[in-house]
Amino acid sequence: MKRCLVFAYFKPNRYSFNALLGAVEENFFPELAQCEFYFPRTKEALLSLIKEFS
């Protein structure tokens, strides 16, 4: 089974993404570091990802 994390934040800020990924990978959930990460920038892109993985 493919694991992924989707962060739907439609006003991108690279500093917030970097901080979040760093926290996930290093401190809180090291097993999630093997997941694929997706950052849809629009609601349409988010819906497309939902359809792809469901």
Domain ranges (residues) in the chain: 4-53
Average pLDDT on 34-46 reads: 83
Q: Which residues pair with 37 in a beta bridge?
A: 5
Longest dimension (CA), the chain: 32
Q: What is the pTM of this model?
A: 0.53
Average pLDDT on 16-21 reads: 70
SS (H, E, C) 11-41: CCCHHHHHHHHHHHHHHHCHHHHHCEEECCC
pLDDT of residue 48: 92
